[in-house]
Copies of this chain bind each other. A is one copy, B any other.
Amino acid sequence: MATERKAVGPCAMWPEDSAFIREVLDRIGDKWTVLVLSTLGERTLRYSDLMASIPGVSQRMLTVTLKALERDGLVERRAYAEVPPRVEYRVTPLGRSLQQAVLQLSQWAVENHATVAANRALHERIGVGRAGSRAETSASVG
């Protein structure tokens, strides 16, 4: 391992934790989980509040997302036996730690989305495969 970096092992960043990160991405990679988490923030909101605060979400998707979050202990659901019913949701400490982790990604997004967009535009203009003399490489900004 000392000389050159070949070896073609499974990973360079993590040894075998790839499965864990896949699980997390499967959980938060869906359309609404992060949005619900961020909308909740540190507040306590009702189901109808979330519906109103998250544009485009359907009842089904909000319910599904909340149940998944609750199941994993990321969000706490508190139902009051009143009439009309009242159900409040808030992010648990565990969920808040996830919010923090996601925040890194969010910061990357804010900082680099313009660059990504520029690269995408470049590739559309150039076309993906222009041959050069011997080795062909696509241009990119960044």
Contacts and interface: CB of A to CB of B under 8 A. Distances in A.
Interface of A: 5-6, 8-14, 17-18, 20-25, 28-31, 34-35, 38-43, 45, 49, 52-53, 67, 70-74, 76-81, 92-94, 97-110, 112-113, 115-116, 118-120, 122-123, 128, 131, 134-138, 140-142
Contact of A20 (B12, B28, B110): B110
| Residue among A21, A23, A49, A76 with the highest chain B CB neighbour number at 10 A | A21
Given A49-B8, A97-B112, A135 B79 contact: yes
Assembly stoichiometry (copies):
2
A9 B53 contact: yes
Given A73-B141, A81-B131, A25 B34 contact: yes
Contact of A115 (B73, B109, B137): B73
List the 8 shortest-distance A-B pairs measured between CB atoms, nearest first. A12-B41, A29-B29, A73-B119, A94-B142, A73-B140, A101-B108, A20-B109, A104-B104
B120 A72 contact: yes
B25 A29 contact: yes
Contacts of A71: 119-120, 123, 128
